[in-house]
Amino acid sequence: MAKTHVTMTVNGEPAEGLVEPRTLLIHFIRENLSLTGAHIGCETSHCGACTVDLDGRSVKSCSMFAVQAQGAQITTIEGMAHADGTLHALQEGFRMMHGLQCGFCTPGMIMRAHRLLQENKTPTEDEIRFGIAGNLCRCTGYQNIVKAIQYAADKLNGVPHKEAAE
């Protein structure tokens, strides 16, 4: 099958490669770009571990072809920390609030929460839970994931965070 040349911007850097049309975006990101932060979990568009930010939307990169992302602006978990290496507020939140156990779902959770907080800077607990409903944590550590996102929202809003980690 003939390959297609695709170009996109990933974490602020130009990225390109030759792909078959059937190459899923997650495979392009992991295998062509060697960015293995976004994970392949269920491969059936249920788990959200492959979530990346694409042109201002959270997308499951296992349910999209790389050719469909031609020209797109993509952010993966590798693009979240600041240039000086300090953690993004969400990464810090997941660390401080014990928002992960095995960590497999974490890149997808953080990328989804990133877009959620762009759209709603002060989400309620219910809004956070509804907003991350497309991401599964099989350790079932949802309580602390919610707290981690609340921590990040407070930090991004410049509000002191009171809730302690469990």
Partner 1 sequence: MIPAPFTYHRPKSLAEATGLLVDLKDEARVVAGGQSLIPIMKLRLAAPDHLIDLAAIAELKGIARGATSITIGAMTTQAELINSSVLAESVPILRETALQIADPQVRYQGTLGGNVANGDPGNDMPAIMMCLDASYRLVGRAGARTVKARDFYLGTYVTALNAGEILTAIDIPVPPAGHGFAYAKLKRKIGDYATAAAGVVLTVSGGKIQTCAIALSNLADTAVAADAAAKAVIGTALDRTALSAAAQAARGVMAPAADARGTVEYRTDVGGTMVKRALQAAFARAKG
12 neighbors 79 (Cβ within 8 angstroms):
yes
Give yes or no for residue 44 binding partner 1 (CB under 8 A): yes
Measured CA to CA, the distance from residue 74 to residue 53 in angstroms comes to: 5
Give yes or no for residue 68 binding partner 1 (CB under 8 A): yes
Cβ neighbours of residue 118 closer than 8 Å, sequence gap 6 or more: 56
Report the alpha-carbon angle 92-77-44, nearest 5: 120
Stretch 96-135: interaction string toward partner 1, x if CB under 8 A: ----------------x---x-------------xxxxx-
> Which residues are registered as beta bridge partners of 154?
none
Give yes or no for residue 59 binding partner 1 (CB under 8 A): yes
Give yes or no for residue 57 binding partner 1 (CB under 8 A): yes
Measured CA to CA, the distance from residue 46 to residue 90 in angstroms comes to: 23
DSSP of 119-158, one letter per residue?
A: H-SS--HHHHHHHTTT---TT--HHHHHHHHHHHHHHHHT
Give yes or no for residue 76 binding partner 1 (CB under 8 A): no
Smallest distance from partner 1 to CB 164, Å: 29
Of 10, 29, 35, 51, the one binding partner 1 (CB under 8 A) is 51
Nearer to partner 1, 24 or 35 (CB): 24
Question: Applying CB under 8 A, which residues contact partner 1?
Answer: 1-2, 4, 20-24, 27, 43-46, 48, 51, 57-60, 62-65, 67-68, 112, 116, 130-134
